[in-house]
Amino acid sequence: MVEVVLGDWGHTTWCRMSDVYLLEDRLKNLPWQGIMCSLDHTGPSTYITTWPEGTRTLCRMFLSQHDKWINIIHPLRKGAALVEIHVYTDKPENISFNFKDTLVRMGQVRLISEVTMNVYPAA
């Protein structure tokens, strides 16, 4: 038996070693699936209803060029989840940083009191 950490669900489980498989590299490079995600307690740096192009471009660049760990904090509704994203730096150090905190420090998002905010990808 081996212990499997289900990081996105926040718990561990035990299963037979014969039930564990390595994810093929070709599957790691598939485009993101259609799950709408939101970072908790964040909104655009200004009071608008769509994410600015600069913020969208920066997020795409960071998330497409680095390994990441997406932790589902809480399901919001069918097909949507509240997430926490950790981005990993290049190897060999492989240090991670919290993506939301980085966006806040860069002035791309602001912290809000609400858990989520209805902001759309583009107009």
Domains and CATH numbers, the chain: 1-34 (no CATH), 35-122 (2.40.50)
Confidence check: pLDDT of 7 > 80: no
Query: Which residue's entry shows tokens 């919290």?
Result: 98
How far apart, in whole angstroms, are the C-alpha atoms of residue 97 and residue 88?
A: 7
15-45 confidence digits (pLDDT tens): 888 877 776 777 667 665 656 677 888 888 8
Tokens, residue 103: 């966006």
Task: Answer whether 0.75 is exceeded by the pTM.
Answer: no
38-77 confidence digits (pLDDT tens): 788 888 888 887 888 888 888 888 888 887 888 778 777 7
Phi first, then psi, for residue 10 (nearest 5°) are 75, 25
Other C-beta atoms closer than 10 Å to the C-beta of 111 total 11
